[in-house]
Structure 1
C-alpha cells in the first residue's frame, strides 16, 4: 500500500469512528482513557450500555503509563494497620494474575533489606512479610527471612554494609501501557466506540444538564459532537479543568502529587526487586523491568500544569539518594539512566502532606449532572469500574439494572493464554518465514498473549517485519504495524513508548523514530 493510500485508510478509519460517535445518543460518554476511563468503559459495556470513550491524547498517555508497574497488596499499608485494605488488594491481585490477565501480570520476588540503625528491625519485618503472605492466603509462598548472601544472588546490587537480614515476600508487576491498551481493546470488542487524540472543547447541555460534548480530532482538526445520557469525567489530573467547563465556579476537588521514576542499565540482570525503607512510612523501589532496573518513586505536591510534569534534576538526586540506602554506588551511575518519567497521583483534597493522603477513588456529581471520578490505582482498577457503574445505576436516565453491577471476576482481557505455550508456538511455527528467535518470541508472548500469533502472521506475510527495531531490544517492526492497524497508535510516541518497550530501553534513536514514522504513514 502506498503512503497516500495508508494515510487515506487511517483517515477513513478515524472518520468512520467520528461518524459512529456522532450517531444517536450514548448511554455513557467517558472522557479520559487512563486507568479510570478504560475500566469504566469496559465495565459499562459489559453491563450492556452503549458507551463512547475519548481521550485528548493517547490512551494511558499520561499518568496511567507512568506508574511503578506494580500489581500489589501494599506491604506499607500494614505499617498503618490497614489490614483489610491489604487483604482486598491481594484478592484482586490474585484475580488479575490468574484469571483476568495472566499473560500480562507477572510474579516478582521482593526483598526488604534490614540495616543496623534502620527504621525497622528484623523481627518486625519478618512478622510483617509473614502476615502479608497470610493475607494473600500464601498464594505465592510464605514470607521469610533470607541471609544477605542469599539475597545478593537475587539482587546483585544489594548493599551489604550494615545489612543484618533481608525479608522476602512476593508481589506482581505488569507493563501499565500494555494493560491499558488491552483494556481499551476489551471495551471495544464488547461494543464501546473509542477514539484517542480527540479533545473535548466544550460540554453540551440540555435543560441545564450535561448531555454530551463537542470535540476536535487532533489528527486533522475535524470537529464533531457526541450526545450522551451521562458524561463521566475521568481525566485524571485534568479532572477539575473539565469540572469548570460544567460549572465555572467549581472549586478544586483534588490535589496532585508527582511520582518520578528512573530506568537504568545494570551490569547483570536482577531476579528480585527491592523495597527499601527510607523512613518509618516511605519506601523506595528498585524493580527489574523490561531488561532494566526501575527506581522510584517521589511523592511531592505538584501545583503546575499537568501537561508540564516531568523529571527534574532534584528528582534524579532524590531517587538515586534514596536508592543508595539499599543499593551499591556502582549500580547507581546517573550516566546509565536510559529513560525517566513522571506522573501525577490524583488525591482527595485536604490538609497534610500528600504522602499521608488516602489513595482512594472519589466519585462526585456536578451541578450539571456530570459525574467526576478521581484517584485509584492499577491493582484495583476493575473495582473502580464497578464503583462507577454503581453510581450510574443511581442515575435514572441510564438503564443499569442492579444485576448488571458485576466486578468482572471472570472476564479476561484479550490474548488470554499461557506465555510459555505461546512462546513455544512462535518458536516452532511450521512456516520458517514466521519463526521467531526465543527472546523475541518470549517478549511477544508476555506482552500480547495469544495476540502474538497475529503479529507472527504479519511476519509471515512480510518477513522484513520480523527484524528487530533495535539490535539491543526484543521489539520487532511487525509490532509497529500491529499498533497502527489494531491498537489505535497515531504518533511515534504512541508506538515506541506505549505499544512497545523501545523508548523505556533507551533505544528510540533518530533512525528508529524515522522508520517508525514511515511505517505509521504506510
Structure 2
C-alpha cells in the first residue's frame, strides 16, 4: 500500500470517478464509522465511494472525550459484552492499528468511602484489567494500583485532602479523534476508495422499491450529479434520521442526540501527572491530560436544536467547573478556560428519558432494499460497527456480484503512519539531529503523523520557512498547515485550525491570532484568490465570536441562537451575484 494524498486533485478525481462509474458501495458520512466502513469495504476488494457533507470528522467524531476506552461505567450497568468488545478494540488500536495516534493514559479514581468502596470499585477495575488481558490485546497496558490518600495526592497535588480517603490508579487509551478519523478516510483512499468531503447527499436514487445510489452536490463548485451504487451505507450519525428520510420510508430505529460539552484549560492550572475520573449525580466526569492542557468533560443532556453546530451554554460550563472544583485545592474560573467544544452523541432512542442511560450499543438496519443504516455505538468500537454495516451491505450484494465478497480484514490493516512508527520513535534523536528540529518537536510530529513524518519534513527541507512555528500557536509548524491542505483534505480554514490541528481549543484566542497566517499558507496550496482568503478569515473570526457569545448564554435555546449567528463558510466561487454584493 502506498500513501495517497487527500489533495484537491485527488478529490476531483474521486468526484469524477463516482459520477461516471457505478460503485459496489457508497458510504454517506465521513465520521469515524463512515471512514471505517469505507476502509472495510475497500479492503474486501469492493469498489467504494465515501461522501461527507462538510469536513472529515466535523461532527461528533472531532468532539469526543478523545478516549479509546472500554467504558468502566458500563461494567456497573452489567454490560459486559460491550466492555469486552471495546477493550479488545482499544488494544488493537494501541498495539497494531494506530499506535501513532492512540496511547495509554492513566486515571486516578478517588475513593470517598472506606473499606466497602475500595473493595467494590477495586473489584470492578480488576475485572476491567482481566477482560483487557483476556482480549489478547492488553499485554502492554499496565495493571491498576491501589493508593493511599497520601499516595494519590503525591500523584495529584491539586486534589483537596478532604476529597478522598484513597484512590485507584488505572489505565485507558487516548486518541486525537479528528486526526484518527481523517486517517481512516485517507487509508481507505490508499486502498482504492473514492473519497470526497464537502459533498452533500441531497436525495437518494430509487428504482422501484430499491435504493440504487444518491444525488449529491459538490458544495465547492455547486455542481450536482448522481452516484450509482449497488448498496448505500448510511453512516451519518446524528443525521441518520434525516438521511434515512430521503428513502421515503420509516426507519427501523431512531437516533437521539445527546450533547456533551468539554472544557480545555492549561496544564499548569491543575497540578498533577494523571487524569481523573469523578462520579457525578448523572454520570462520570473526566479530567484528561492533553499535551500542555487538560480536557474536562463531559455533560450529557438531550439536544433537539441545530445538529450542525451544537452550542455550549454558560450553564454547561458552570456545571463542569462546579463539579471539578469540588475536588480541587485551587478552583478553576471562567478565565482559566482556553477552549470549549460541544458534540452530539448518536444514541439509539429508547424509553428512558435520561440520555446517559440510553444504549451505547449499535444497530444495523435494512428497512429499504439497497440501503443499510448503522447507528448508535461509541467511538472505540467504530471498527466493529463498520464491519457489521459492510457485512449487511455484502449480504445485499450477494445476488448482484459475480464473485464472493471476502470477510472483513480490518483487524489486520494498520492505518497509514502505523507501519514503522515504533522504529522511527526509537530514532527520534537521530531524526531531530538531521532535520534541525528539537526532539520534543519530532515527538509531537510522530504522534500526529507516525511514519508519514518524512512527508512533513520534506516540506521543511524544500522550504525552510515552513519549519517555523505558527505565530500564536507554537505547538504547530507552518509546514503542518501546508500538509493539511495538500495531503489531508483540509479545504477551509476551519478544517486546519479546528481539526487537522487543535488550535481552536488550545489557545485563549481560539486561533484568531494565526488565522491570517494559516489562510495565507493554505491559499498557496488551494489556489485561493485574495477574496477567497479574506472570506475564509472573515468567516473564521465570525465563528469564534459566535461561539464566545453562545457560551455566555444561560440555556440551550439562547446559546443555539447565538451560535447560529455565524453560518458555514460558503466558497466565494459558489456564491450568487446577489450574495457577493450584499
TM-score (norm 1): 0.92
- The equivalent position to 2:275 in structure 1, one of 273, 276, 279, is 273
Per the alignment, residue 63 of structure 2 pairs with: 66
Kindly tell me the number of residue pairs found equivalent between the two proteins.
Answer: 510
In 1, Cα distance between equivalents of 2:127 and 2:402 = 39
- The answer to whether the 8 A contact 1:392-1:400 is kept is no
**1:320 shift after superposition:** 1.4
In 1, Cα distance between equivalents of 2:422 and 2:336 = 31
1:45-194 pair list within 5 angstroms: 45-116=42-113, 121-137=117-133, 139=139, 140-194=141-195
Q: Per the alignment, in what secondary structure is the counterpart of residue 342 of structure 1?
A: strand
Alpha carbons of structure 1 residues 94 and 402: separation in structure 2 relative to 1, 3 Å = farther
- The equivalent position to 1:16 in structure 2, one of 9, 13, 18, is 13
Deviation larger for 289-298 or 245-254: 245-254
Does residue 339 (structure 1) correspond to residue 339 (structure 2)? The answer is yes
Q: Describe the superposition over 1:92-138 as per-residue Cα deviations: whole angstroms up to 9, x where unpaired.
A: 211110011111111111110012499x7222122222222122127
In 2, Cα distance between equivalents of 1:377 and 1:489 = 25
Q: Describe the superposition over 1:449-496 as per-residue Cα deviations: whole angstroms up to 9, x where unpaired.
A: 011111011000000001111455321011111111111110111111
**Structure 2 gap ranges (5+):** 1-5, 525-582
Q: Per the alignment, in what secondary structure is the counterpart of residue 466 of structure 2?
A: helix
Q: Describe the superposition over 1:234-283 as per-residue Cα deviations: whole angstroms up to 9, x where unpaired.
A: 1111111111111166697121111111111132664211111124x721
- The answer to whether the 8 A contact 1:420-1:442 is kept is no
In 1, Cα distance between equivalents of 2:428 and 2:20 = 42
1:398-437 pair list within 5 angstroms: 399=401, 404-417=406-419, 421-423=423-425, 425=427, 427-429=429-431, 434-437=435-438
Q: Per the alignment, in what secondary structure is the counterpart of residue 358 of structure 1?
A: coil
Q: Per the alignment, in what secondary structure is the counterpart of residue 220 of structure 1?
A: coil
Q: Describe the superposition over 1:486-513 as per-residue Cα deviations: whole angstroms up to 9, x where unpaired.
A: 1111011111111113222126543411
TM-score (norm 2): 0.83
In 1, Cα distance between equivalents of 2:156 and 2:420 = 27
Does residue 200 (structure 1) correspond to residue 201 (structure 2)? The answer is yes
Alpha carbons of structure 1 residues 362 and 250: separation in structure 2 relative to 1, 3 Å = closer
Deviation larger for 453-462 or 511-520: 511-520
1:304-323 pair list within 5 angstroms: 304-323=305-324
Alpha carbons of structure 1 residues 145 and 210: separation in structure 2 relative to 1, 3 Å = same
- The answer to whether the 8 A contact 2:86-2:380 is kept is yes
Per the alignment, residue 6 of structure 1 pairs with: none
In 2, Cα distance between equivalents of 1:466 and 1:48 = 40
1:456-471 pair list within 5 angstroms: 456-470=457-471
1:358-377 pair list within 5 angstroms: 358-367=359-368, 369-377=370-378
Q: Describe the superposition over 1:414-441 as per-residue Cα deviations: whole angstroms up to 9, x where unpaired.
A: 1115656435645434985x32112211
Deviation larger for 413-422 or 227-236: 413-422
- The equivalent position to 2:28 in structure 1, one of 26, 31, 45, is 31
In 2, Cα distance between equivalents of 1:285 and 1:510 = 28
In 1, Cα distance between equivalents of 2:473 and 2:368 = 54
- The answer to whether the 8 A contact 1:116-1:162 is kept is no
Alpha carbons of structure 1 residues 117 and 482: separation in structure 2 relative to 1, 3 Å = same
Per the alignment, residue 5 of structure 1 pairs with: none
Alpha carbons of structure 1 residues 174 and 156: separation in structure 2 relative to 1, 3 Å = farther
- The answer to whether the 8 A contact 2:467-2:477 is kept is yes
Aligned alpha-carbon RMSD (Å): 2.4
Alpha carbons of structure 1 residues 205 and 472: separation in structure 2 relative to 1, 3 Å = closer
Per the alignment, residue 565 of structure 2 pairs with: none
- The answer to whether the 8 A contact 2:32-2:184 is kept is no
- The answer to whether the 8 A contact 1:32-1:235 is kept is yes
Q: Describe the superposition over 1:141-178 as per-residue Cα deviations: whole angstroms up to 9, x where unpaired.
A: 33221122322333342232141110111111010011
- The answer to whether the 8 A contact 1:230-1:398 is kept is no
Alpha carbons of structure 1 residues 367 and 88: separation in structure 2 relative to 1, 3 Å = closer
In 2, Cα distance between equivalents of 1:20 and 1:213 = 14
In 2, Cα distance between equivalents of 1:123 and 1:208 = 58
**Structure 1 gap ranges (5+):** 1-8
